[in-house]
Amino acid sequence: MKKLLSFAAIMIFCIPAISAQQTKQKIDPAGQWKFEAPYAPEGFTAGTIDVGFADNKYTVNMLFTTSGYSFTGEKTAVRNDSLFFNIFVEGTDVSVALKMEDTTKMTGNAVHYEGTVPLTLTKEEVQK
């Protein structure tokens, strides 16, 4: 009987500890990200996305390297390790949805009236 009680006590204390270790940690998207969109129209295939966090909300600024265009994201939201925002580019609404794969990579799509463009983001190193 003592062995059974000991086993039960061990299980009661070990199971929560094991499941706590398996809990997925939330990934923070804040920082500067380099993006590539090889199937986007010319001038919009690469650049940076700067994700900020202040006053309990996220902000996004998107800069296209080759064209020099810069846009501020609207309706920015982070839910379930995903980043969502909208930009208005040359008269077109573009909805961006990105999944945070890990602390250094995001993948997703930019959707506009002509179709969907895949995006790949890589977090840039912070220079010290």
CATH of the domain at 87: 2.40.128.120
Q: Would the pLDDT of 10 be above 70?
A: no
| Structural domains counted in the chain | 1
Per the domain annotation, does 8 fall within a domain? no
> Which structural domain range is residue 72 located in?
31-123
Query: What is the Cα–Cα distance from 95 to 24, expressed in whole angstroms?
Result: 27
Of the ranges 13-22, 73-82, 91-100, 110-119, which one carries the lowest mean pLDDT score?
13-22
Per the domain annotation, does 41 fall within a domain? yes
Residue 49 confidence (pLDDT): 94
**pTM exceeding 0.85:** no
Per the domain annotation, does 54 fall within a domain? yes
Three-class SS string for the chain?
CHHHHHHHHHHHHHHHHHHHHHCCCCCCCCEEEEEECCCCCCCCCEEEEEEEEECCEEEEEEEECCCCCEEECEEEEEECCEEEEEEEECCEEEEEEEEEEECCEEEEEEEECCEEEEEEEEECCCCC
% residues pLDDT > 90 (the chain): 59
Query: What is the Cα–Cα distance from 8 to 2, expressed in whole angstroms?
Result: 10
Residue 23 confidence (pLDDT): 57
Per the domain annotation, does 90 fall within a domain? yes
pLDDT tier at 50 (50, 70, 90 boundaries)? very high
Q: Would the pLDDT of 11 be above 80?
A: no
Per the domain annotation, does 10 fall within a domain? no
Per the domain annotation, does 16 fall within a domain? no
Let me know: does 122 contact 34? Beta carbons within 8 Å: yes
